């Protein structure tokens, strides 16, 4: 039986990325996962944690085997101690990410799955500013705009803006942005999730969705016109709704996704419903990319206490999305 072939970035070597990647062979996934990273580091972490996994150098075309983790070896730039960051390995993290990107870009792999990296150490190492996986992959692929969406707990929540200070959010939201985000969200729900006619609910920006302009005019002047334009293009979009009542079962029962205006408007609800099992998806890229919903957890690295649930959920979802696209490479 063939499974979608997934390229997995093992992320920051001092964090829990290597630890949780070691759980992939035991997860019963309908996917063949190939981990990109230093094979010696993974072997050392497996010994430290007592994980019963056999590591194998991956060659194109080889089938998956039970209990075996296939590795594309990328050598470390410096020795690693669990939980201790080293700027010398920032280049190693980029080596991994670039290799995984090449694998999905040229079609050898059906999807990309990323374990967490540490943006602080990436930037402390010098060189070009590194703002995150999403922006890096968008730039490499020549993608003008991407959309961050998290899935879990029966919810899909996309964001109109992402990592902005709260005072900057209103100025960042305009009609062209919202219309573009809605097009990407609708298009990828169709192409990558196999939803024929997605129904999207949209949150307002202000309390009570502006309360008729008394608590802000963004809903009247920006969000409602953007939704009208989207509906004119055939998108099934609804709102703007007050965010404090939008995330209710009776509102969400027929919806395929929610568009929140900013990071901490939508994601606390989703993470409450699914923390440890949530998946971060980058929409708008010309390939499938899923990721964990957590960071490097340096204090847990090498301890045996790291929870691999989010990585497993991200792998399952990547495999499902690959099946929906019907074009992903299979092993």
Read off φ and ψ for residue 158, nearest 5 degrees. Answer: -100, 160
118 annotated ligand binder: no
**CA within 13 Å, CB half, 204:** 24
Question: CA 223, 225, 226, 228 torsion: positive or negative?
Answer: positive
Residue 47 neighbours by CB distance under 10 Å: 9
289 is in an annotated binding site: yes
224 labelled binding-site residue:
no
133 a known binding residue?
yes
The token duo for 199 is 């129904």
d(CA 246, CA 241): 6
Ligand-binding annotation for 30, yes or no, is no
With a CB cutoff of 8 Å and minimum separation 6, the contacts of 250 are none
Cα(257)–Cα(207) distance, integer angstroms? 21
Query: Distance between CA atoms of 146 and 185, rounded to whole angstroms?
Result: 9
Q: Would you say the C-alpha torsion 323, 152, 164, 15 has a positive or negative sign?
A: negative
Annotated binding-site residue numbers for substrate: 133-134, 271, 280, 289
Annotated binding-site residue numbers: 133-134, 163, 208, 263, 271, 280, 289
Annotated binding-site residue numbers for a divalent metal cation: 163, 208, 263
């Amino acid at each position: 039986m063939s499974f979608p072939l997934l390229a997995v970035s093992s992320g920051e070597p001092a964090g829990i990325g290597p630890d949780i990647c070691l759980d992939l062979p035991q997860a019963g996934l309908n996917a063949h996962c190939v981990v990109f990273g230093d094979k010696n580091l993974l072997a050392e972490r497996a010994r430290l944690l007592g994980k019963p996994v056999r590591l194998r150098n991956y060659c194109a075309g080889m089938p998956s085997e039970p209990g075996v983790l296939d590795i594309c070896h990328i050598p470390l730039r410096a020795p690693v101690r669990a939980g201790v960051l080293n700027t010398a390995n920032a280049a190693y993290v980029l080596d991994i990410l670039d290799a995984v990107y090449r694998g999905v870009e040229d079609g050898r792999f059906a999807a990309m799955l990323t374990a967490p990296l540490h943006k602080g150490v990436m930037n402390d190492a010098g060189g070009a500013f590194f703002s995150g996986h999403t922006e890096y992959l968008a730039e490499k692929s020549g993608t003008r705009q991407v959309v961050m969406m998290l899935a879990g707990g029966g919810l899909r929540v996309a964001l109109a803006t992402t990592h902005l200070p709260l005072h900057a959010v209103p100025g960042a939201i305009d009609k062209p942005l919202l219309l573009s985000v809605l097009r990407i969200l609708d298009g990828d729900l169709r192409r990558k999730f196999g939803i024929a006619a997605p129904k999207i609910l949209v949150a307002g920006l202000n309390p009570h969705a502006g309360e008729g302009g008394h608590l802000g005019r963004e809903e009247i002047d920006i969000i409602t016109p953007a939704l009208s334009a989207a509906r004119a293009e055939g998108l099934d979009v609804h709102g703007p709704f007050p965010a404090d009542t939008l995330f209710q079962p009776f509102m969400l029962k027929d919806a395929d996704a929610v568009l929140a205006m900013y990071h901490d408007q939508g994601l606390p609800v989703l993470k409450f419903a699914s923390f440890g099992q949530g998946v971060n998806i980058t929409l708008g890229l010309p390939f499938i990319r899923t990721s964990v919903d957590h960071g490097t957890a340096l204090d847990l690295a090498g301890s045996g206490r790291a929870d691999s649930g989010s990585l497993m959920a991200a792998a399952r979802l990547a495999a499902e999305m690959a099946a929906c696209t019907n074009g992903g490479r299979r092993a």
